[in-house]
Amino acid sequence: MFRTHLHHDSAGSRLRRPAIMAGGLAAAGLLITGLTALAPAGAATIRPTARTDTTSKPTVYEQSAINQNVAIATGNVHTTVTSSPVLPKGNYLVNSVISFNNLTAGSQVLCGWTTSTSSDALYGNYGDAENQDATASTGSCTVTGIATINNTSDHLILWATVYSGPAGPAAYSWSMNETAAGTVHVTSLN
């Protein structure tokens, strides 16, 4: 036969319960004190390193827009979509993309970049967006490469043109960024 004892209310257990609770609180207090004492040494190993000087990192310039409607000229006439601020002399990794609305049937749109002075060096190809469908559609044109700025007052210019086909394409959105780079080695076939 099993007996279940639900409540024992003797004087001994009443005295032991506060002693156990006090002992538990004392142990928790010692543990907290010990952890607090270790915190400075332990925290140094997990604390993030101090911020480094942001001037030692490459500078990135970004130009972008959405919800625009810049009509793109036909006949290989370059329409400026955006330009960078004046860039310090040096090498830059350049990424650019333009999204077009109303890419008319049979049209081919080119995009690319140039600089404000012809003595700068650009290493990147044209991008192109074509519509070979019977109806207008959307498309995008992307160019990546390197620009070497040789003059103190130059900036990059992102352009597009309807190279062939009917007028109508419009630049809807775009992004161009320039990241300052160190030494650049270019292998280019002409």
CA distance 161 to 170: 10
Q: Quote the radius of gyration of the chain (alpha carbons, Å).
A: 34
Indicate whether 167 and 86 sit together in one domain: yes
Indicate whether 42 and 120 sit together in one domain: no
| Residue ranges of the chain whose pLDDT lies below 50 | 1-10, 13-16, 18-22, 25-51
Does residue 170 sit within a domain? yes
Indicate whether 33 and 84 sit together in one domain: no
Q: Are 151 and 174 in contact (CB under 8 A)?
A: no
pLDDT at 168: 95
Range of the domain at 20: 10-47
Q: pTM for the complete prediction? A: 0.69
Indicate whether 113 and 69 sit together in one domain: yes
Q: Give the amino acid at 45.
A: T
Does residue 87 sit within a domain? yes
Number of domains comprising the chain? 2
Q: What is the DSSP letter of 133?
A: S
Indicate whether 78 and 29 sit together in one domain: no
CATH number of domain containing 74: 2.60.120.40
Does residue 168 sit within a domain? yes
pLDDT at 53: 53
Does residue 5 sit within a domain? no
pLDDT at 189: 67
Helix (H) or strand (E) holding 44: helix 11-46
